[in-house]
């Protein structure tokens, strides 16, 4: 089976004003202008999407939103729709990030609604799943991830799941400096692919890109990417430095 084309995605979280985001995007564009064998996506804050879209226009770097609401429009103060993200230049949207689940009440049900809205809006969902430290210690990793997967894709056909990207992000490894070992990450990625195969068939599971997220750095990307079922990374803190993020992009080719 041919190796899936890697995707390295940068989640800028709640960092960077418009000018700061513009500087970061411009520097990153320059640093990876010669990269042709890796897909790259960045997800700036909503307020910087427009300016970053302009800077990335004509480049191979794709733009993503960090979240969206499940309704197409309406009296939902503070929310952003799929259509708004698409109009701003986005091709992707991150859904169900652990910080959304932890701080803003995101549930498996709301993840499912948002995924359906993203697909209707012609956006590629990057659905995040992952267990907490307590859940891993209680040997609940697979049951937690399975429930998140099953409820996240509930009611979707195999053809819809075909357009997905899934990101496994162990909550205990996000922003902590801890990283799952290569074998730990591979074990969960392999499990995710098997669950998608059971739900949607072998072909869709084989083509599905599953990213690892959790303190990804230039020093550990090659080892992670050497695993059979790790197809890229959802990068947090290290994506806020253009040189560091570019090094991760290039390191993904060294596996």
Strand partners, 210: 166
Q: Which residue of the set 99, 131, 169, 189 is catalytic?
A: 169
Q: Is 139 exposed, middle or buried (0-12, 13-18, 19+ CB in 10 A)?
A: exposed
97 part of the active site: yes
Q: Please enumerate in sequence order all residues whose Cβ is within 8 A of that of 248, keeping only pairs 6 or more positions apart, or say none.
A: 8, 216, 217, 218, 221, 233, 235, 238, 239
Report the C-alpha gap between 66 and 68 in whole angstroms. Answer: 7
Beta-strand ranges (E) seen in the chain are 7-11, 39-43, 61-65, 92-95, 124-129, 165-168, 209-212, 232-235
Report the C-alpha gap between 243 and 32 in whole angstroms. Answer: 10
Q: Which residue of the set 97, 106, 131, 135 is catalytic?
A: 97
User: To the nearest 10°, the Cα dihedral for 43, 66, 19, 63?
Assistant: 30
Minimal CA–CA distance to 148: which of 104, 96, 72?
A: 96
Only one residue has tokens 């939902």, namely 76
Q: Are the beta carbons of 93 and 124 closer than 8 angstroms?
A: yes
169 part of the active site: yes
Report the C-alpha gap between 82 and 121 in whole angstroms. Answer: 5
Strand partners, 13: none
Catalytic residues: 97, 169
């Amino acid at each position: 089976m041919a190796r899936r084309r890697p995707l390295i995605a940068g989640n800028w979280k709640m960092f960077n004003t418009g000018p700061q985001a513009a500087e970061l995007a411009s520097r990153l564009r320059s640093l990876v202008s010669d990269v042709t064998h890796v897909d790259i996506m960045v997800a700036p804050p909503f307020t910087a999407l427009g300016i970053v879209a302009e800077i990335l226009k004509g480049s191979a770097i794709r733009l993503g939103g960090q979240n969206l609401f499940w309704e197409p429009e309406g009296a939902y103060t503070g929310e952003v729709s799929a259509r708004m993200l698409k109009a701003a230049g986005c091709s992707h949207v991150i859904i169900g990030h652990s910080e959304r689940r932890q701080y803003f009440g995101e549930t498996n049900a709301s993840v499912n609604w948002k995924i359906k809205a993203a697909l209707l809006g012609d956006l590629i969902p990057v659905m995040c799943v992952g267990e907490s430290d307590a859940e891993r210690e209680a040997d609940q990793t697979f049951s937690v991830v399975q429930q998140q997967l099953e409820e996240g894709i509930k009611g979707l056909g195999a053809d819809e799941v075909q357009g997905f990207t899934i990101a496994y992000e162990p909550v205990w490894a996000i922003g902590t400096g801890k990283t799952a070992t290569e074998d730990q990450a591979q074990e969960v990625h392999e499990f995710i692919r098997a669950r998608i195969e059971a739900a949607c068939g072998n072909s869709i599971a084989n083509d599905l890109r599953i990213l690892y997220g959790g303190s990804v750095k230039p020093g550990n990307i090659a080892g992670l990417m050497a695993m059979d079922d790790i197809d890229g990374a959802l990068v947090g803190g290290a994506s806020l430095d253009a040189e560091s993020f570019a090094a991760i992009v290039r390191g993904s080719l060294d596996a």
